[in-house]
A = this chain, B = another copy of it.
Amino acid sequence: MTPTRVTLREVADAVGVSPATVSRALQPKTRSLVNEETARRIEEAARLADYSPNSLARGLKTQRSLSVGVMIPDLTNPLFPPMVRGIQDRLEQHGYTALIVSTDGDPERERLGFEALRAQRVDGFILATARAKHPVVDAVMAASMPLVLLNRAVQDAKVDAVVPDDRGGIALAVGHLADLGHERIAHLAGPKETTSGRWRREGFRAAMRGRGLKVPAGSIRQAGAFTERAGHDALIGLLDAGIPFTAVVAANDLLALGTYSALAERGLRCPDDVSVVGFNDMPFADRFAPPLTTVHIPQHELGSRAADLLIEQVAEERPPGQPVVVDVKLAVRSSTRRLS
């Protein structure tokens, strides 16, 4: 069934040279060491024999797999595929491959995924899992392997990270609503275990204060997860608690989307009765009903910057440094309107 593959040795025999020469000829970095004519014959023979270098053997020898492990919480959250693409695009340019693991935030899957990546001897990790306490982050750091955090950072230690400007983004959202005359603005905060959830919540308080607006008790509602369902439930909770508000800033787009259905359930309209702002500008946010006003983050760029940092760490053995904060902007659409 599965065919036995052609080896370097066979190519060597075919050409009548030693394996070492073939190895040199086929590797760009060392090709110049071998006679031009010989190199050409080797390439020809390799092509003819449909030779494919065995990266397992190469990795075993060189102690470099030229692969990096990428862990993300949920591939089906539209926020992540563009980031993954950004990562892959950049890694590819440097001859690296991404091994992608989607964990659902399930600790057991995370552990398993980490073990698998470690067994594959990945040269480094990009972790986009936002939970503050994270065994895998700890494990990678403990092993002092190259690591870049995406979408989150750690407070104390020196770890490379790429994050959107959470506070700035929320400030844009609050400012936009304030400009539209809103004063009673509620916040649907992300899970408290996540750093982005926390930072956006803090950013919300700061922005409200900056605008001279009050944040009454109960007007910040914690969602249990970054999902539509959680957003729905949180908004219902806000309504049931009798908190008065004319606008809501959600910690991400999925939560914002959840508010849509909650509002509809209660006979409220968006934006006529309640303005809603999201965060992330996930794909198709502009196609929702109504099109969602949201904080836009450059998803592809976040991914490629993370890959850049990782490659620098791996290739140049640069020690990790400060988090990179990426600028965001507000995408104003139809889920927000002037308070009349």
Contacts and interface: CB of A to CB of B under 8 A. Distances in A.
A5 B143 CA distance: 9
Interface string A10-31: 0000000000000000000000
A237 to B, nearest CB: 21
A59 B54 CA distance: 10
A101 B114 CA distance: 20
B76 A120 contact: no
A102 B2 CA distance: 25
B52 A115 contact: yes
A88 B60 contact: no
Interface string A100-143: 10100000000010011011110100000000000000000001
A92 interface: yes
A112 B92 contact: yes
Quickly give the copy total for this chain: 2
B257 A3 contact: no
Nearest to A334: B289
Contacts of A99: 97, 99
What interface size band does chain A fall in?
35 or more
Nearest to A99: B99
A145 B317 CA distance: 38
Given A3-B145, A99-B99, A288-B287, A76 B65 contact: no
Contacts of A283: 76, 78
A217 interface: no
Interface string A35-79: 000000000000000101111110110000100000000011010
A298 interface: no
19 contacts: A1-B146, A2-B145, A2-B146, A3-B143, A5-B121, A52-B119, A54-B121, A55-B119, A56-B57, A60-B60, A76-B78, A76-B81, A78-B81, A78-B284, A81-B81, A92-B112, A257-B284, A257-B287, A289-B290
